[in-house]
């Protein structure tokens, strides 16, 4: 008998879920990138829901969830949907937090450390450069180690902080995914826009299935927007999920 | 009963807002200010049904689980009858 080949289109379909909190404002940008640019099914998941609707990956978008009241991400992490996300992450599910999403993931304890007020106390919105510190993750496997990406930031609290033992652990386990760099990939104080410890722009959890990053790959997935470098991160996730199928 | 909860950045954590205020005070020639740290202050009005030991436990739990991010902050509180 001739084996029936699984049709490629179904084989490659990965369902993404974009969380929506009151105050999220990059939810539609993120949804657009997945549906129109990456070309995968995507749904919005309301913060009061307790169901992830069988999504293969969860995206926590940027914005100002609950107005950033108390601390950025602090109220969001008590939302019913976050309890489901924690379970999903614990079972190895892919979770990507962007900007406010990164802040929510640290407040939730899914990622270590905290994001503090920028060292210069200003809201910074500009194109910056990142160096890929590891390609050994579901989010960076299509990137080369040390590959420089042009991806914008837009935040007031992106100043990454953690204590010395945590930093040591992040370094030893190669869990720093991205650092702020020059266009040539040098890690310098000048290239650090917000005072982040060791120029850290994005980190992985211990299981490497959760990534938080301050820069916005959702705002840099189409050349029309000035850079399509961020697209590789979403495509890496699809490649990972396809490999797991 | 009221609970007064004071949340401050840990001493080992840089406080750029406090530093900026300190810098401004120096420029304005206020004398004798050696450092400024900025924090948050919460006032919780508690039900009279809560006895003192219960109120203490509850306020500590609220501070620890909600009001404070232990990575960067610490707290003190006092209860006012």
Radius of gyration of chain B (CA): 16
How far is the alpha carbon of A76 from chain B, nearest alpha carbon, in Å?
Answer: 11
Q: Of A149-153, A174-178, A240-244, B20-24, which range is least confident? A: A240-244
Q: What is the pLDDT of residue A10?
A: 47
CB B72 within 8 Å of CB B12: no
Q: Is B69 on the interface with A (CB under 8 A)?
A: yes
Task: Indicate which of B10, B44, B69 best probes the interface with A, i.e. most A CBs within 10 Å of its own CB.
Answer: B69
Whole-structure pTM value: 0.92
And the tokens for B26? 């120096």
Judged on CB neighbours under 10 Å (0-12, 13-18, 19+), A215 is buried
The contacts of residue A245 (CB under 8 Å, 6+ apart) are A11
Closest CA to B72 of A124, A174, A180, A157: A157
Contact residues, chain A, for B37 at CB < 8 Å:
none
Q: Of A1-5, A140-144, B26-30, which range is least confident? A: A1-5
Local confidence band at A13 (pLDDT 50, 70, 90 cut-offs) = confident
Beta-bridged to residue B5, according to DSSP, are: B42, B77
pLDDT at A228 over 70: yes
pLDDT digits (tens, 9 = 90+) for B66-77: 999 999 999 999
Contact residues, chain A, for B12 at CB < 8 Å:
163
3-state secondary structure of A243: helix
Q: How far apart are CA A144 and CA A152, in angstroms?
A: 20
- In chain A, pLDDT over 70 holds for what percent of residues? 95
3-state secondary structure of B57: helix
Q: What is the pLDDT of residue A7?
A: 45
- Pick the residue from chain B with its C-alpha nearest to A77: B66
Q: What is the pLDDT of residue A8?
A: 47
Q: How far apart are CA A225 and CA A207, in angstroms?
A: 33
Average pLDDT of chain A to the nearest whole number? 94
Mean pLDDT of A39-50: 97
Residue among A107, A121, A195 whose CB faces B69 most closely: A107
Contact residues, chain B, for A107 at CB < 8 Å:
69
pLDDT at A11 over 90: no
Residue among B16, B17, B72 whose CB faces A114 most closely: B72
3-state secondary structure of A42: strand
Helix or strand (DSSP H, E) at A80: helix A80-90
pLDDT at A229 over 90: yes
DSSP state at residue B65: I
Cross-chain residue pair A161–B13, CB shorter than 8 Å: yes
DSSP state at residue A35: I
Beta-bridged to residue A227, according to DSSP, are: A222
Mean pLDDT of B54-69: 97
Give chain B's count of helices (H) and strands (E). 2, 3
ipTM over 0.90: no
Contact residues, chain B, for A70 at CB < 8 Å:
66-67
pLDDT digits (tens, 9 = 90+) for A181-194: 999 999 999 999 99
pLDDT at A52 over 70: yes
pLDDT digits (tens, 9 = 90+) for A141-165: 999 999 999 999 999 999 999 999 9
Cross-chain residue pair B71–A74, CB shorter than 8 Å: no
CA A233 to chain centre: 9
DSSP state at residue A36: I
Beta-bridged to residue B42, according to DSSP, are: B5
Q: How far apart are CA A138 and CA B18, in angstroms?
A: 40
């Amino acid at each position: 008998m001739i084996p029936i080949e699984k049709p490629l289109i179904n084989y490659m379909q990965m369902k993404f879920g974009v969380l929506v909190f009151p105050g999220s404002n990059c939810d539609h940008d993120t949804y657009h990138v997945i549906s129109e640019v990456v070309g995968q099914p995507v749904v919005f998941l309301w913060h009061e829901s307790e169901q992830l609707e069988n999504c293969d990956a969860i995206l926590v978008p940027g914005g100002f969830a609950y107005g950033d009241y108390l601390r950025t991400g602090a109220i969001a992490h008590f939302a019913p949907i976050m309890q489901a996300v924690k379970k999903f992450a614990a079972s190895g599910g892919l979770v990507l937090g962007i900007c406010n999403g990164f802040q929510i993931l640290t407040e939730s304890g899914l990622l270590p450390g905290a994001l503090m007020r920028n060292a210069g106390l200003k809201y910074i919105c500009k194109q910056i450069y990142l160096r890929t510190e590891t390609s050994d993750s579901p989010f960076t496997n299509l990137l080369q180690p040390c590959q420089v990406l042009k991806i914008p930031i837009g935040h007031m609290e992106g100043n990454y902080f953690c204590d010395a033992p945590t930093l040591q652990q992040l370094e030893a386990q190669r869990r720093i995914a991205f650092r702020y760099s020059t266009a040539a990939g040098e890690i310098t104080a000048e290239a650090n826009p917000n005072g982040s410890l060791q120029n850290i722009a994005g980190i992985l959890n211990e299981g490497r299935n959760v990534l938080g990053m301050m820069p916005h790959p959702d705002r840099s997935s189409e050349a029309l927007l000035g850079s399509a470098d961020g697209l590789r991160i979403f495509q890496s996730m699809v490649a990972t999920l396809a490999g797991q199928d | 009963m009221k609970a007064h909860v004071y949340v401050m950045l840990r001493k080992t954590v840089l406080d750029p807002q406090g530093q900026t205020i300190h810098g401004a005070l120096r420029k304005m020639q206020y004398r004798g200010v050696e450092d400024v740290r900025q924090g948050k202050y919460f006032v919780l009005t508690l039900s009279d049904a809560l006895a003192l030991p219960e109120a203490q436990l509850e306020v500590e739990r609220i501070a620890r689980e909600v009001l404070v991010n232990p990575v960067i902050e610490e707290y003190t509180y006092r209860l006012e009858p």
